[in-house]
């Protein structure tokens, strides 16, 4: 028997031990990142628009009280909404998993055919796929998991997903909304507080728009575009709120 080492199947192919490593970078906390982005973005724009609008009345106390009321109620509402959405997502997965398990148990032939149909989308012949199908048929749990992953394209939610989503969304909203309100706590003149709030929020919107795009793996050009887009959306929201409040406040007392 020859003692020579086995050669690679292809002439230019390196042995596995000598092949260069190819680490793949994927986000493992996409749900947390998504909740943070949504919460912080809403927190920056909504309270900023509200405080900018209320500042047109000329009362710092009114801005602080109105801003705080919106900040706390908004954070609770966002957290509760995220919790309910996560619970609904979990329940949906459970219902679909139970239905799929019933079909695998009582209609195996139809489910087996669905596996072949799934692989047909990848241009794989029945002969190529048959060993995989036969292997799945021996393990009903893996069969059900395969159908959930590839047929329904549903990912099983983590058990603590609802609470984490609620906390991340609520806290992100609160922190984002607190940013434009800070100047009103320290500056007595409302115009100074308004302009300072605008300056701070503009900087934070640009940074946030850039960072949120960067966190999803976008190119630098896309990140810069996202920063400008985020700023424009925040500015439009604030300007609209300011104009509406200013217009309503300018009406005569008896006209509304």
pLDDT tens for the chain, 256 residues long, are: 444 555 444 455 555 555 555 555 544 467 888 888 888 888 888 888 888 888 877 788 888 999 899 999 999 999 999 999 999 999 999 999 999 999 999 999 999 999 999 999 999 999 999 999 999 999 989 999 999 999 988 888 887 888 999 999 999 999 999 998 999 999 888 889 989 998 998 999 899 889 888 877 889 899 999 999 988 987 887 778 777 877 776 775 655 5
* Under 8 Å between Cβ of 226 and 37: no
pTM of the model as a whole: 0.74
The total domain count for the chain is 1
Q: Is residue 69 one of the residues assigned to a domain?
A: yes
Q: Is residue 137 one of the residues assigned to a domain?
A: yes
The span from the CA of 102 to the CA of 147, in Å, is 12
Measuring CA to CA, which residue among 47, 58, 46, 56 is closest to residue 242?
56
Q: Which domain holds residue 52?
A: 31-245
Q: Is residue 197 one of the residues assigned to a domain?
A: yes
CA distances 197 to 50, 151, 184, Å, are: 12, 50, 8
Measuring CA to CA, which residue among 151, 127, 171, 222 is closest to residue 38?
171
Q: Is residue 45 one of the residues assigned to a domain?
A: yes
27 phi and psi angles, rounded to 5 deg: -80, 125
Q: Is residue 186 one of the residues assigned to a domain?
A: yes
The span from the CA of 133 to the CA of 96, in Å, is 21
């Amino acid at each position: 028997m020859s003692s020579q080492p086995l050669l690679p199947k292809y002439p230019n192919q390196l042995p596995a031990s000598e092949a260069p490593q190819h680490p793949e970078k994927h986000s493992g906390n996409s749900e947390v990142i998504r909740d943070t982005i949504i919460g912080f973005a809403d927190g920056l724009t909504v309270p900023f628009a509200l405080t900018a609008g209320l500042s047109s009345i000329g009362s710092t106390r009114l801005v602080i009280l109105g801003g705080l009321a919106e900040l706390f109620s908004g954070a609770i509402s966002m957290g509760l909404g995220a919790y309910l959405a996560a619970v609904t997502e979990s329940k949906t997965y459970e219902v679909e998993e139970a239905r799929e398990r019933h079909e695998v148990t009582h209609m195996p032939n139809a489910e087996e055919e669905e596996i072949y149909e799934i692989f047909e989308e990848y241009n794989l012949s029945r002969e190529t796929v048959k060993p995989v199908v036969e292997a799945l048929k021996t393990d009903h749990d893996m069969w059900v998991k395969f159908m959930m992953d590839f047929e329904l394209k549903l990912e099983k939610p983590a058990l603590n997903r609802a609470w984490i989503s609620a906390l991340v969304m609520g806290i992100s909203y609160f922190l984002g909304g607190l940013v434009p309100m800070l100047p009103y706590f320290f500056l007595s003149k409302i115009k100074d507080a308004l302009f300072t709030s605008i300056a701070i929020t503009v900087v934070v919107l640009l940074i946030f728009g850039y960072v949120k795009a960067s966190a999803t793996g976008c190119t630098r050009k896309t990140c810069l575009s996202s920063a400008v887009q985020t700023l424009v959306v925040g500015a439009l929201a604030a300007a609209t709120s300011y104009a509406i409040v200013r217009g309503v406040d300018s009406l005569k007392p008896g006209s509304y």
